[in-house]
Amino acid sequence: MKTGLISSALVLFVLISGCVNRSSYNIVLKNSGGSEINDAHVSYGDFTSVGGILSSGIEATHLHPDAPIPAHATVQWRTADGVLHKQDVDVKSKLPPHFSGDIYFVIDSTNNVTVVPEAMPRL
């Protein structure tokens, strides 16, 4: 009986420990323009997101970055004509307090980036 209780407590501890260290947000890089973009990513501090090649309408998601939500981030991508674009954007000021959910970095056809929060539903 004691062994089962200790095993259950250990499993619960491991689950809680894993959740505590995970961030409560995701980074989503979306191409809302009409052409494919390449070398796309979001970076801040020591963090750089996944991204790469994004066709029109496609998004890439980086789950649970191991970094706090930044005040500012840099979005970088290369358009089909080979031109490298880079835009610094405000992040934290665009989010409600205690945000938990997806932070969209939307690159449009005019090569402008918009930060759009999509909160996770509260259970």
CATH of the domain at 39: 2.60.40.2890
Q: Using the predicted structure, report yes or no on whether residue 98 has a pLDDT greater than 70.
A: yes
Question: CA torsion sign, 95 to 77 to 49 to 68?
Answer: negative
Q: Using the predicted structure, report yes or no on whether residue 16 has a pLDDT greater than 70.
A: no
Mean pLDDT on 103-109: 97
Q: Is 2 domain-assigned?
A: no
Mean pLDDT on 108-117: 97
Tell me the β-bridge partners of 115. 105
Q: Using the predicted structure, report yes or no on whether residue 17 has a pLDDT greater than 90.
A: no
Q: Is 16 domain-assigned?
A: no
Q: How many domains does the chain have?
A: 1
Residue-averaged pLDDT of the chain: 85
Q: Using the predicted structure, report yes or no on whether residue 54 has a pLDDT greater than 80.
A: yes
Q: Is 4 domain-assigned?
A: no
Mean pLDDT on 32-51: 95
Q: Using the predicted structure, report yes or no on whether residue 13 has a pLDDT greater than 50.
A: no
**Whole-angstrom distance, CA of residue 39 vs CA of residue 60:** 12
* Cα torsion through 33, 41, 97, 114, rounded to 10: -20
Q: Using the predicted structure, report yes or no on whether residue 11 has a pLDDT greater than 90.
A: no
Q: Is 5 domain-assigned?
A: no
Which range marks the domain in which residue 67 is found? 24-119
Q: Using the predicted structure, report yes or no on whether residue 28 has a pLDDT greater than 80.
A: yes
pLDDT given for residue 51 in this prediction? 80
Per cent of the chain over pLDDT 70 is 80
Q: Is 44 domain-assigned?
A: yes
Band the pLDDT of 36: cuts 50, 70, 90: very high
Q: Is 64 domain-assigned?
A: yes
Q: Is 35 domain-assigned?
A: yes
Q: Is 17 domain-assigned?
A: no
46-55 long-range Cβ contacts below 8 angstroms, 24+ apart: 51/77, 54/29, 54/30, 54/107, 55/31
